[in-house]
A and B are shown apart, each in its own frame.
Chain A
């Protein structure tokens, strides 16, 4: 069953919050270097899925393996192999760009010349050179995003989790962000991303469409659109959302 090309694998992954089932019986297999999109309306279970895969929330049932590590059994080890960016800017606004990067490099165990070298590498990769001494709190949305990515990439994680990374970011910055993600994927990083933007979903290799904790459709963007019965992805998404609202209705 061990396949070196598979980086993320879940079996019957389920999470309940009291009576609510946030994620139900999720089975996914994601290959190395894939850009995998998690799509769905708010409350469909995307964030809960990502948090379970990062070891931030324990699954109620089922198993998940990320980069060869069992999420339930070794929630600490998993954190050395993943990078994570949450929906909310999670860095220190009262520290400068350089101080934030230095802190996370240190927390990820980089020391001495290795640390300096890696920071310089990430800085030039993301074009942060001219922002180094700016307080993170004064950055615009797009720059905050890049800084968040920089800190999440410090330790060269094989798997990168991005939870709505482009919410509140202008279109130009979004475009730049996605080309960065493509570059990372081409270098072998597995990227798992949630998004609300259909044009972004179209840039994923495969997507999983979720609704009320269920996996509704899985495949390339075109395949998913066909499975749900829409002309394109956007159409499919709207069909899905309407179906949800009918079920929740009176």
Chain B
């Protein structure tokens, strides 16, 4: 491995001189973090809502206030007829409609079931789910109050006490930002190494290099080593911004996180190396990298929970390094867990790194055929 040193130095100088790539590699984490952190909110609130109150009684106004108080509904208009309500939702000016029939106060007084209709624009499942759950909740709270009053009972027979652990505010930033560390590392590390070897091929420098006694392993490791540093800097940037801009906690052992991140970065770089052995031009390298990166974002559990995926896709997800690194990130940052809980993920990531480097070295040919 004595030729690793010169190779590493050369790559490092070249990386330092390539201002554009270096700039992109430092700007990407910042931009992505701000985009994802501010723009992506999975907790849907303030759904624009249109109200049709046919009864116009204090009770009905009370119920409407209940809806508004959940924070999920924002009343944007009061309308006079059912047609007008449908019109609002069809136009997209409102995503939910609450219709209280004129029979509402009478039914309530009589003790028969009084109905309130909640219409939801379900073309966006995420926000409509939040609206549906909130609407059901409003009715339930009302029911309990009415029933317990009727039963002259002061205590509820049953109550579930929910303790949202690790992310008590249920903030999506706490979920997204740690995941973003992994996503950004995957994108930049895979792309940067996939391009690195192909660039030497295109510029004609690979021909001069493979006519020297450098071994394939020395070449590959020397090529990826400087980018390990870049990856660690990117991770630090995202973690610090996450901590101070989005209040994402750093609960666990940060040193352990960096140790595992090191393994993950090597695995991602190795994936990039592998891509570079499959393609001939920088353009192909770029396309192939995106082909590898996209499933990482969709199937790793970064945005969509893996439990909700069909078994096949959960399996595919298990073959992505990011899937395992996400568990580590969230485990350490949010739950504060340690090696005892994470050794499996560490082992899997190390296996990925070793296998991918081995495959790349095998596939790379020191010939021009």
Binding site for B on A (CB under 8 A): 51, 54-58, 75-76, 79-80, 82, 84-86, 88-95, 99, 102-109, 111, 151
Contact = CB atoms under 8 A, between A and B. Distances in A.
A182 B209 CA distance: 26
B6 A102 contact: yes
Contacts of A79: 211-213
A92 B214 contact: no
Given A76-B213, A79-B212, A95-B14, A90 B369 contact: no
Nearest to B10: A103
B2 to A, nearest CB: 6
B204 A90 contact: yes
B13 interface: yes
B18 interface: yes
Interface string B205-219: 101111111110000
29 contacts: A54-B211, A55-B211, A55-B367, A56-B367, A56-B368, A57-B368, A76-B213, A76-B366, A79-B211, A82-B211, A84-B208, A88-B204, A88-B207, A90-B204, A90-B205, A90-B209, A92-B10, A92-B14, A94-B17, A95-B14, A99-B10, A99-B13, A103-B6, A104-B212, A106-B3, A107-B3, A107-B212, A107-B214, A111-B2
A83 B358 CA distance: 29
A93 B203 CA distance: 9
Centre residue among A57, A92, A93, A109 by max chain B CB count within 10 A: A92
A249 to B, nearest CB: 31
B106 interface: no
B207 A108 contact: no
Contact of A58 (B5, B6, B369): B369
What are the 10 closest A-B residue pairs judged by CB atoms, nearest first? A106-B6, A90-B208, A88-B204, A84-B211, A79-B213, A103-B10, A107-B212, A80-B213, A56-B368, A94-B17
A57 B367 contact: yes
Nearest to B18: A94
A109 B17 CA distance: 25
B261 interface: no
B243 interface: no
A145 to B, nearest CB: 13
Interface string B159-202: 00000000000000000000000000000000000000000000
Contacts of A76: 213, 215, 366
Contacts of B211: 54-56, 79, 82, 84
Nearest to B216: A76
B207 A86 contact: yes
B210 A56 contact: yes
Contacts of A57: 367-369
Interface of B: 2-3, 5-7, 9-10, 13-14, 17-18, 203-205, 207-215, 366-369
A106 B212 CA distance: 11
Given A51-B368, A56-B211, A106-B7, 11 more contacts: A56-B368, A57-B367, A58-B367, A86-B208, A90-B207, A91-B208, A94-B17, A95-B10, A95-B14, A102-B9, A107-B212
Contact of A56 (B2, B207, B215): B207
Contact of A95 (B13, B208, B215): B13
B9 A103 contact: yes
Nearest to A76: B213
A79 B209 CA distance: 10
A85 B14 CA distance: 22
Nearest to B212: A107
A146 to B, nearest CB: 15
B366 to A, nearest CB: 7
B204 A89 contact: yes
Contacts of B204: 86, 88-90
Given A84-B208, A104-B212, A107-B212, A94 B369 contact: no
A121 B162 CA distance: 78
A141 B5 CA distance: 30
A94 B14 contact: yes
A109 B213 contact: yes
B35 to A, nearest CB: 32
Contacts of B208: 84-86, 90-91, 151
Contacts of A80: 213
Contacts of A94: 14, 17-18
